[in-house]
Structure 1
Amino acid sequence: MSHINTAKKQNNIIIVGAGPVGLVVALRLTQNGIPVTILEESSAPIAEPRASTFHPPTLDMLDTLGLSQSLLSLGRIAEKWQYSIFETGENAVFDLGVLKDETKHPYRLQCEQVHLVRAAAKELNRLAPKALIYNAKVTKIGENSVGPWVDADINGTKERFNGRWLVGADGSNSIVRRELGLTFTGQTYPAASIAIGTTFPFEKYIPNICGVNYFWAEGWSFSMFQTKKLWRVGYSLPKGMSDSLATSSDEIQNKLRKIYPSKTPFRLETARVYRVHRRTVDTFRVKSILLTGDAAHLNSPSGGMGMNSGIHDAFNLTDKLISIFKNRADEGILDQYSRQRRFAATADIQRASDQNHKLHREQDYKARLKTLHTMQNIANDSQKLLDFVRESSLINSIKRANLIN
Structure 2
Amino acid sequence: MLHTYTYPQYAYRPSPEQAEGRRTRHPVVVVGAGPVGMTQALDLAARGVPCVVLDDNNTVSVGSRAVCYAKRPLEIWDRLGLGEALVEQGVQWKVGKVFFRDELVYQFDLLPEDHHKMPAMINLQQYYLEERLVQACEASPRVDLRWKHKVLAVEPQPDHVVLTVETPDGIFKMEAQWLIACDGAHSDVRRMIGADFTGQFFQDRFLIADVVMKADFPTERWFWFDPPFHRNQSVLLHKQRDNVWRIDFQLGWDADPNEEKKPERVIPRIQAMLGPDVPFELEWVSVYQFACRRIDNFRHGRVLFAGDAAHQVSPFGARGANSGVQDCDNLSWKLAAVLAGDAPEALLDTYHWERALAADDNIRNSTRSTDFITPKSRASLRLRNAVLELARAEPLARPLVNSGRLSTPTPYLGSPLNTPDSEPFAGRMVPGMFCADAPLQVQGRPGWLLEQLGRGFVLLSFGAGAEPVRVGNVQAEVLEVGRDVHDRLGVLTERYDGRPGTVYLIRPDQYVAARWRRFDAQAVRAALSRALALA
TM > 0.5 fold call: yes
Amino acid at match of 2:97: Q
Offset, 1:309:
0.7
Would you say the 8 A contact 2:45–2:143 is kept in 1?
no
Would you say the 8 A contact 1:194–1:274 is kept in 2?
yes
Once the two structures are superposed, residues 113-133 of structure 1 have per-residue CA deviations (whole angstroms, 9 ceiling, x without a partner) of 222211111111111387111
Give me the whole-angstrom Cα distance separating, in 1, the residues matched to 2:253 and 2:111.
39
Consecutive unaligned residues in structure 1, runs of 5 or more: none
Report what 1:144 is aligned to. 157
Once the two structures are superposed, residues 166-190 of structure 1 have per-residue CA deviations (whole angstroms, 9 ceiling, x without a partner) of 0000001111100110121111101
Give the TM-score normalised by the residue count of structure 2. 0.68
Give me the whole-angstrom Cα distance separating, in 2, the residues matched to 1:379 and 1:52.
31
Distance 1:379 1:52, change over 3 A: farther
Alignment equivalent of 1:30, drawn from 23, 26, 45: 45
Secondary structure of 1:250's match?
helix
Q: Greater share of helix residues, 1 or 2?
A: 1
| Residue 20 (1) aligns with residue 35 (2) | yes
Alignment equivalent of 2:97, drawn from 71, 79, 82: 82
Give me the whole-angstrom Cα distance separating, in 1, the residues matched to 2:176 and 2:208.
39
- Which residues in structure 2 correspond to 1:299-310 (within 5 Å)? 299-310=313-324
Deviates further, 134-143 or 232-241 = 232-241
Would you say the 8 A contact 2:182–2:305 is kept in 1?
yes
Q: Percent same amino acid among aligned pairs?
A: 23
Distance 1:108 1:237, change over 3 A: same
Distance 1:130 1:186, change over 3 A: closer
Would you say the 8 A contact 1:82–1:210 is kept in 2?
no
Secondary structure of 2:111's match?
helix
Deviates further, 280-289 or 79-88 = 79-88
Offset, 1:274:
1.7
Amino acid at match of 1:84: F
Amino acid at match of 1:370: V
Offset, 1:299:
0.8
Offset, 1:308:
0.5
Give me the whole-angstrom Cα distance separating, in 1, the residues matched to 2:390 and 2:310.
37
Once the two structures are superposed, residues 362-390 of structure 1 have per-residue CA deviations (whole angstroms, 9 ceiling, x without a partner) of 48466234146448755999xx89xx9xx
What count of residue pairs does the alignment treat as equivalent?
389
Give me the whole-angstrom Cα distance separating, in 1, the residues matched to 2:411 and 2:82.
20
- Which residues in structure 2 correspond to 1:98-113 (within 5 Å)? 98-101=112-115, 103-113=116-126
Report what 1:311 is aligned to. 325
Alignment equivalent of 2:259, drawn from 245, 248, 252: 245
Would you say the 8 A contact 1:284–1:338 is kept in 2?
yes
> RMSD between aligned alpha carbons?
2.7
- Which residues in structure 2 correspond to 1:215-364 (within 5 Å)? 215-216=224-225, 217=227, 218-229=231-242, 230-263=244-277, 266-326=280-340, 328-346=342-360, 348-362=361-375, 364=381
Give me the whole-angstrom Cα distance separating, in 2, the residues matched to 1:188 and 1:263.
39
Alignment equivalent of 1:52, drawn from 67, 71, 79: 67
Amino acid at match of 2:31: V
Once the two structures are superposed, residues 181-205 of structure 1 have per-residue CA deviations (whole angstroms, 9 ceiling, x without a partner) of 012111110122221100223435x
Consecutive unaligned residues in structure 2, runs of 5 or more: 1-16, 419-535
Report what 1:161 is aligned to. 174
Offset, 1:301:
0.9
Report what 2:204 is aligned to. 191
Amino acid at match of 2:387: K
Report what 2:138 is aligned to. 125
